[in-house]
Amino acid sequence: MSALTKAKGFKKSKSGTYLSIAGTAFGAIGVAKRLKKARAEQDTLVLIDATVSAVAIVTGLAILYRELKRLGDDDVLLG
C-alpha cells in the first residue's frame, strides 16, 4: 500500500477520527465564548446563532463517535 493511499484513507482511520473529534471539540471552545458574551450583552441574535452552532457541534461529535465505534478493529492504517 503506497503512502498516498494511506494518506487518503486517514479520514477513515481511528487516528483520523480522533483528530476530527479533537478539532470539533476545540471549536466548541469558541462557541462557548460566544454564548457567554451574547448572554452578557443580552444579544438574542448572537445567542441564537451560538446555540445553533453548539447543536451542530454536538451532532458532529455524535456522528464521529458513531464512526469510531463502527471502525472497531477495521483500521485502514493498520492493514
Residue 4 domain-assigned?
Answer: no
Residue 50 domain-assigned?
Answer: yes
Which residues, 6+ apart, have CB-to-CB distance to 50 below 8 Å? Answer: 31, 34, 35, 38
Residue 2 domain-assigned?
Answer: no
* Radius of gyration of the chain, Cα coordinates, nearest whole angstrom: 17
**pLDDT in the model for residue 14:** 85
Residue 27 domain-assigned?
Answer: yes
**Would you say residue 78 has pLDDT above 80?**
no
Kindly report whether the global pTM for this prediction surpasses the value 0.85.
no
Q: Provide the residue range defining the domain that includes 73.
A: 10-77
Domain count, the chain: 1
CA angle, 24 then 27 then 33, to 5° = 150
Residue 3 domain-assigned?
Answer: no
**pLDDT in the model for residue 1:** 52
7-57 residue pLDDT tens? 556 666 888 888 999 999 999 999 999 999 999 999 999 999 999 999 999
Task: Kindly give the residue spans of alpha helices, DSSP state H, lying in the chain.
Answer: 3-8, 14-41, 44-71
Residue 15 domain-assigned?
Answer: yes
51-77 residue pLDDT tens? 999 999 999 999 999 988 888 755 555
